[in-house]
Amino acid sequence: MSSGHSLVHFISTFCLDSAGLGCLYLLIASVTVLYSARKAARQPPRTPLPVSILKPLHGEEPGLTRRLISACRQNYPAGVQLVCGVEEKSDPAIGAVKSVKVELPEDDIALVCDSRRHGINRKISNLINMLPMARHEVIVISDSDIDVPPNYLSNIVAELERPGVGAVTCLYHGVAGPGRWSNCAALGINLHFLPNVLVALTFGLARPCFGSTIALRRSTLSQIGGLQSIANCLADDFALGAAVREQGYAVAVSRASVGHFCFARSLRALLANEIRAARTIRTIDPVGYAGTFFCHPFPLALIASALDGNYAISAAILALCCRMVLCFAVESAFSLQRQQYWLIPLRDVFSFAVFLVGFFGKTVAWRGCSYRINSDGSLVSEHESASP
């Protein structure tokens, strides 16, 4: 056998074996998802405290008004303040805030328009500008694309009351907005991100903190140096969680999932978002990121099939079946609508392509701007980095 044939055979065998391990992983993930869902917190807090919810906004987003209303309409016995923030008075998101004020005239809703920058991360600058308007001790930071159930605050405040807990974050599932790319984005969250996180949590392989929700006391935020300490970080949510842990506190992960509304308007927008997420994860945990290679059995089996057809087609079919089992488990565990199963093969190939691209390059596109990621995870704007 020539060296060229030997190399092809080696790569084919490696991909086929990896696909087999990936199929086993998907089945383990399916069991883990169903088991983890049974542990979702439902108890009310013992001593509910008033809460200020901070929502940094930027631009027009489908369904924003409904999501802001969901943050206000809570089955929570203490006061709830909603603080929304934008950089410019011309931001279209202001219209959604005004609509919420009209619909909920008795609710405590504040709007901050402030363009001051405190670092490269524009979201964190927005939050720093909003924070003086927050009136309560418990602060909940939540991204604008997050939709929450009525028991949201009860769950996270109950977690925050546990001894030794300094912050609480939430799992999230994808909710598809209009358009094919939005469906693709939601499917990626539900069939890749969410089960991977649950497996990592179950086996103690990750200590996450998600922008979907970060709840903490104002005193804890002061202890870690405030939001200014993460104003140049790309992974600001992860950095905030790490800072809380450095003070000796735990970051609890509420198993009660919230909805992440996906509204990718184009393939280009979807790619930009997912490559940014991939490069962020690679920066935070390069070894763990590389380890997710085995989480892509279907494209690995396709590669093996293209190089050497022995058993590879059967492996590809098996991989799709395992992914569909995982899809059904996620739907059952989180009471999701039926996913578009016909998209699963395309989504798996797309996710593998993003995974590979994530290994290369140090630039990300975020809210219309381009940034370079330093080795420590901090951001530098491409314009600034190009300046003498």
Strands 214-217 and 165-176: antiparallel
If pLDDT is split at 50, 70 and 90, which confidence band does 386 have? very low
- pLDDT of 388 over the 50 cut: no
Q: Is 362 a residue whose pLDDT tops 90?
A: no
Q: Higher-confidence residue: 4 or 114?
A: 114
Mean pLDDT value across residues 22-39: 91
pLDDT of 381 above 80:
no
**Global pTM exceeds 0.95:** no
Strand duo 138-141 + 51-56: pairing: parallel
Instruction: Name the average pLDDT for the chain.
Output: 90
pLDDT at residue 383, rounded to an integer: 53
Query: d(Cα 39, Cα 155) in Å, to the nearest integer?
Result: 12
Q: Does residue 353 register a pLDDT over 50?
A: yes
For the ranges 186-195, 283-292, 377-386, the one whose mean pLDDT is highest: 186-195
Domains of the chain plus CATH, in order, are 51-177+204-282 (3.90.550.10)
Condensed to tens digits (0 to 9), the pLDDT of residues 236-255 reads: 999 999 999 999 999 999 87
| Percentage above 90 pLDDT, the chain | 74
